[in-house]
Homo-oligomer: A and B are copies of this chain.
Amino acid sequence: MAESTQKTDYVVGVDLGGTKILTGIFTQQLEVIGRTKISTKPERGTKAVIERIARCVQEAVDECELSFKQIRGIGIGAPGTVDAGTGQVLFAPNLGWQNVELKKELEAQLGLPVFAENDGNLSTLGVYHAELESKPRHMLGIFLGTGIGGGIIIDGKLYKGFNKSAGELGHMVIDVGGPKCACGNRGCFESLAGRQSLFLKIQTMVKEGHKTVLTEMLGPELNNMRSGDLRKAIRKGDDLVEQVVIQAAEYTGIAIANLMNILSPEVIVLGGGIIDALADEMMPIIVNTARDYAMLGTDKGVSLFASKLGDDAGITGAAVIARRETQ
């Protein structure tokens, strides 16, 4: 390695999702120099998932031909309420986690300082730092992945609130008595537009006898369905998938109108696996529905668009806090 490479030259950003773990190695200038991805397998339990995170980090460091001595710290985003002070994951329904000492356990395994935060918060920070040039005062990030996470920037800073848990946008109830959500409630935004809910809806409709090309693509059980499969099905003219995706986009628009009415942000950025795969299909409906439902005047001049960062949003935000906390 060149002489300029010093012990403290790099930070690691980890995005722990309900489906996959993604790790990125970043320079101090927040340029990503390598990524590693493995599946999460939450059904194997907390200990196994934390070992998988550690392995994913080790592989990423190794792939970049670095050693742990060159890593200053690790930021990690988890899908749920996280106490950023203690690094504890209080509640992550899509992982089945409650009160997990994520920071402590990972630090013990990796021997490096770890900083944990809610994944929606980190993805929002990632978009704010790496994608938005205008640096708006008030901004929202909304991420449709396995579940739905979000983050709120107020006065240019991540807003956490009294219990440091602000930004749980996915568990805003928008359809009282609606579908069951992983959190235990019914009718949450996540239960209407998160990937898990879309997959479940399609699987249920297939069981009821509805037809879709997805069964030809994936088999009758629709195993290993991915967001990209929905896009492929729609482009093949599949009505069932199209209707499910249109509905999810409408729910997303309504959720965004709620947030515009409550918070009046200047910029709203969408991301996550569902949006990355289906932006062309969903964004026009999301934008129209949001503007239609927003109170008169509240959407004026507001930018609402899909992030171009894709998977990098979460790991970038994680790198941002790792850099900040180790400076």
A residues contacting B by CB (< 8 A) are: 81, 83, 90-91, 98, 136-138, 152, 154-155, 159-169, 171-178, 183, 185, 187, 251, 254, 257-259, 261-266, 293, 295-302
State the CA gap A167–B260 with chains docked (Å).
9
Given A296-B81, A302-B162, CB of A174 within 8 Å of CB of B174: yes
Contact (Cβ within 8 A) B176 A162:
no
Q: Distance (Å) between the CB of A152 and the closest chain B CB?
A: 8
State the CA gap A277–B301 with chains docked (Å).
40
Residues of chain B within 8 A of A136, CB atoms compared: 162
Residues of chain B within 8 A of A175, CB atoms compared: 174-177, 187
Query: Given B83, B161, B258, which contacts A172 in the complex, CB threshold below 8 Å?
Result: B258
Contact (Cβ within 8 A) A172 B298:
no
Residues of chain B within 8 A of A177, CB atoms compared: 175
Q: Distance (Å) between the CB of A102 and the closest chain B CB?
A: 14
State the CA gap A165–B301 with chains docked (Å).
13
State the CA gap A153–B266 with chains docked (Å).
18
Q: How many copies of the polypeptide does the oligomer hold? A: 2
Residues of chain B within 8 A of A138, CB atoms compared: 161-162
Contact (Cβ within 8 A) A165 B295:
yes
List 6 contacting pairs A-B, 8 Å CB cutoff, sorted by A: A155-B155, A161-B263, A163-B300, A169-B262, A173-B174, A173-B257
State the CA gap A162–B138 with chains docked (Å).
7
**Top 4 closest pairs, chain A to chain B, by CB:** A161-B264, A162-B266, A91-B296, A168-B261
Given A138-B161, A162-B137, A185-B293, CB of A262 within 8 Å of CB of B300: no
Q: Distance (Å) between the CB of A46 and the closest chain B CB?
A: 16
